[in-house]
Structure 1
Amino acid sequence: MPDELQERSGVTVLMCDPAGPPVATTQDALDLIGAAFAGAEVVVMPAGRLDERFFSLGTRFAGDIMQKFVNYRLRLVVMGDISAQLAASDSLRALVHESNQGAHIWFVPDLDTLDSRLRTS
């Protein structure tokens, strides 16, 4: 399935294909932001498409990617199981917790959680 726009809980989201190309550079993120300008308010990125550097906060890759989405006023949702990365990093656990308290960047395990969050946002 290619990346596609979907209406979920009354919000237009760009659902990124889990089998799509990896997001390994800030340009890759900007390409997704450009695709989202077709009408999406939220980009849902499968965790498996993110380069492992995203989950190693010392690389600053996650911060760079997240800042791009904030600058362009798009919400980013990282969806999938990141329990192994969370277990390996107190810093990442804190980032995920803080992000999930806000409105711009969320980390969710599945579509049901995404839909629930969208309904209450």
Structure 2
Amino acid sequence: MNLKTVEANGHIIAVAHGDSILLKDEQSAMDMMMTISFEKGSNRISLNKEAISEDFFNLSTKLAGSILQKFVNYNIKFAIIGDFSVYTSKALKDFIYECNKGNHIFFVPSEHEAIDKLSNAK
């Protein structure tokens, strides 16, 4: 995993990029959150979509809900960077839309937008 930090709007944002699957279950999410939070002193994390198991994007597995609930419970703002237009599920599109209206979880197309969303989240 490549990891860098960016300071924006008074917040430290950890920008992670994985070439392999980093998030595959709740435990891997917890491990990633705690490692990045401790090492970088940040409660705002972005990750590329390719580093997340495809099961996450199939809402019937309930993986997305269980993983994202961990981020919310630990007050970690989280942005997923990627192209989500490849998914045809109306439920997933609605889920992404609702997440993007909130202040904890964001689905964005670029690192720049992830930094913007995370730095302005309340």
TM-score range, shorter chain: 0.7 to 0.9
Q: Partner of 1:83 in structure 2?
A: 85
Q: Partner of 1:48 in structure 2?
A: 50
Q: Does 1:67 align with 2:40?
A: no
**Per-residue deviation at 1:4?**
3.0
The Cα offsets for residues 3-59 of structure 1, whole Å up to 9 and x where unpaired, read as 233323432122112325431121110111112322112110111111001000000
Q: Does 1:102 align with 2:86?
A: no
Take 1:93 and 1:50, find their aligned partners in 2: how far apart are those partners?
Answer: 17
Bigger shift: 26-35 or 90-99? 26-35
TM-aligned CA distance change 1:26 to 1:81, over 3 Å: same
Structure 2 residue runs of 5 or longer lacking an equivalent are none
Superposed structure 1 runs of 4+ greater than 6 Å apart: none
Take 1:118 and 1:71, find their aligned partners in 2: how far apart are those partners?
Answer: 17
Q: Is the 8 A contact 1:24 1:50 kept in 2?
A: yes
SS in 2 for 1:58: helix
TM-aligned CA distance change 1:9 to 1:111, over 3 Å: farther
TM-score by length of 2: 0.87
TM-score by length of 1: 0.87
Q: Does 1:116 align with 2:116?
A: yes
Question: How many residue pairs were aligned?
Answer: 119
TM-aligned CA distance change 1:73 to 1:118, over 3 Å: closer
Percentage of pairs with the same residue: 29
Structure 1 residue runs of 5 or longer lacking an equivalent are none
Q: Partner of 2:30 in structure 1?
A: 30
Q: Is the 8 A contact 1:9 1:118 kept in 2?
A: no
